[in-house]
């Protein structure tokens, strides 16, 4: 039975290219924070390692995990499947570890809806502008500008989900964004005051979608 000593579930989502994966890695350096490693059917990128960045599996293995009900959540993102297996997450939470989830809005919705007995804090990370986002997407090893353009279109759809998150943080500068997130987590766990301006976020989203 989950108790006060259990860890927190911390979800970070963002449209592709907002810098969320880097932020998750920075947060995982904090004592007692661990990243939930997802399964995916996507091919590894050249700098990615199996069992560290993802568990890279084929579609049959992914289907087997679905059928065995091993996923806490799973979703199809950009034509590939991604999912979080339940057991490693629950084990860590029960040991008091804070678990970080780098997952999309579909996964975040599912985790929210299953209402686990652990405290959940969800963050949606946004880029400072569309221009910066396009530059970030184009600088990836995928080279192909067409993919960047496709992801920009996807951005317009994904950004609409900001409203379902506890907090939206603009990643204009990694260090700033990181400290905003850690301050909000600390405020959540200690019931302290929150430095959070919803009106500013609303305006920012409007600018990104106009």
Q: Which residues bind ligand 5GP (CB under 6 A)?
A: 16, 38, 42, 73, 75, 77, 82-84, 102-104, 106-107
CB nearer ligand 5GP, residue 8 or residue 72: 72
Residue nearest to ligand 5GP (CB): 107
Tell me how far, at minimum, the Cβ of 36 lies from ligand 5GP, in Å. Answer: 7
**Contact criterion met (CB below 8 Å) for 84 and 75:** no
CB nearer ligand 5GP, residue 34 or residue 104: 104
Tell me how far, at minimum, the Cβ of 123 lies from ligand 5GP, in Å. Answer: 12
Neighbours of 78 (CB within 10 A): 12
CB nearer ligand 5GP, residue 6 or residue 104: 104
Tell me how far, at minimum, the Cβ of 59 lies from ligand 5GP, in Å. Answer: 15
Tell me how far, at minimum, the Cβ of 81 lies from ligand 5GP, in Å. Answer: 9
CB nearer ligand 5GP, residue 19 or residue 107: 107
């Amino acid at each position: 039975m989950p108790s006060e000593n259990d860890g927190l579930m911390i979800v970070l989502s963002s449209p592709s290219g907002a810098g969320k994966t880097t932020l998750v890695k920075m947060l995982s350096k904090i004592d007692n924070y661990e990243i939930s490693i997802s399964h995916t059917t996507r091919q590894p990128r050249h700098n990615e390692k199996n069992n560290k960045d993802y568990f890279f599996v084929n579609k049959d293995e992914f289907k087997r995990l679905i059928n065995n009900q091993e996923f806490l959540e799973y979703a199809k993102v950009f034509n590939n499947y991604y999912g979080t297996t339940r057991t490693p997450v629950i084990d860590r939470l029960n040991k008091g570890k804070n678990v970080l989830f780098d997952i999309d809005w579909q996964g975040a919705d599912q985790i929210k809806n299953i209402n686990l007995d652990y405290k959940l804090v969800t963050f949606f990370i946004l880029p400072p502008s569309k221009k910066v986002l396009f530059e970030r997407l184009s600088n990836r090893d995928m080279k192909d500008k067409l993919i960047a353009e496709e992801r920009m279109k996807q951005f317009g759809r994904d950004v609409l989900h900001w409203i379902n998150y506890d907090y939206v943080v603009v990643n204009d500068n990694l260090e700033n964004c990181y400290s905003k997130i850690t301050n909000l987590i600390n405020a959540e766990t200690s019931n302290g005051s929150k430095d959070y301006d919803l009106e500013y976020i609303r305006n920012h989203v409007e600018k990104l979608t106009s």
